């Protein structure tokens, strides 16, 4: 008879998924920063890539708190979002909409991370892992700030990629 899975198991699996997602995100952000045309967007993406590396360190601390090794597990969701971003970067690289499409792709990855960090923070609290919940909450707030910066950049890029007077 198989052992019944617990919330602790789900928490550990989620951490492994998120560690893989963060590693993938760092690569995606660096690639997106190189492709970005707007200097402010390029800087924001580079800054968030650095921030994501710090977030991986926090995840490693959480792994230590639960007595598990910090190993990622392939996350098909983030791989799909990364593949989509790469496809769009290639398809739109020379267009006026390039930055807008780049932002949309990176924002999709950020939204995935926001959802996962929110869930894991809640589970950590339910499991009595208050220090882990605090670390995950800190990262969640950083992800939300990055999303807001991308929203602001999207407004500018969408205006530039679709000048006034053009047909929709």
Task: Indicate if the pLDDT at residue 162 is higher than 80.
Answer: no
Please say whether the beta carbons of 124 and 136 come within 8 A.
yes
Whose tokens are 């995840």? That residue is 59
With bands split at pLDDT 50, 70 and 90, how would you rate the model's confidence at 158? low
Distance, CA of 79 to CA of 62 (rounded, Å) = 23
**pTM of structure:** 0.88
What phi, psi does 164 have (nearest 5°)?
Answer: -55, 140
- Give the class (CATH, top level) of 8-160: mainly alpha
What phi, psi does 3 have (nearest 5°)?
Answer: -70, 135
pLDDT tens-digit map of 107-150:
999 999 999 999 999 999 999 999 999 999 999 999 999 999 88
Please say whether the beta carbons of 79 and 141 come within 8 A.
no
């Amino acid at each position: 008879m198989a052992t019944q899975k617990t919330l602790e198991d789900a928490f550990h699996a989620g951490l492994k998924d998120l560690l893989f997602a963060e590693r993938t995100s760092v690569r995606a952000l660096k690639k997106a920063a190189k492709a970005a045309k707007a200097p402010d967007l390029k800087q924001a993406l580079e800054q968030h890539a650095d921030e994501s590396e710090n977030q991986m360190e926090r995840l490693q601390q959480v792994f230590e708190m639960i007595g598990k090794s910090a190993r990622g597990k392939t996350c098909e969701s983030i791989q799909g979002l990364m593949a989509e971003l790469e496809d769009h970067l290639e398809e739109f690289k020379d267009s006026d909409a390039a930055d807008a499409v780049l932002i949309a792709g990176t924002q999709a990855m950020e939204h995935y991370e926001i959802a996962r960090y929110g869930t894991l923070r809640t589970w950590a609290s339910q499991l009595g892992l208050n220090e882990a919940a605090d670390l995950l909450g800190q990262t969640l707030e950083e992800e939300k700030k990055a999303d807001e910066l991308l929203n602001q950049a999207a407004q500018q890029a969408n205006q530039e990629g679709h000048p006034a007077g053009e047909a929709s």
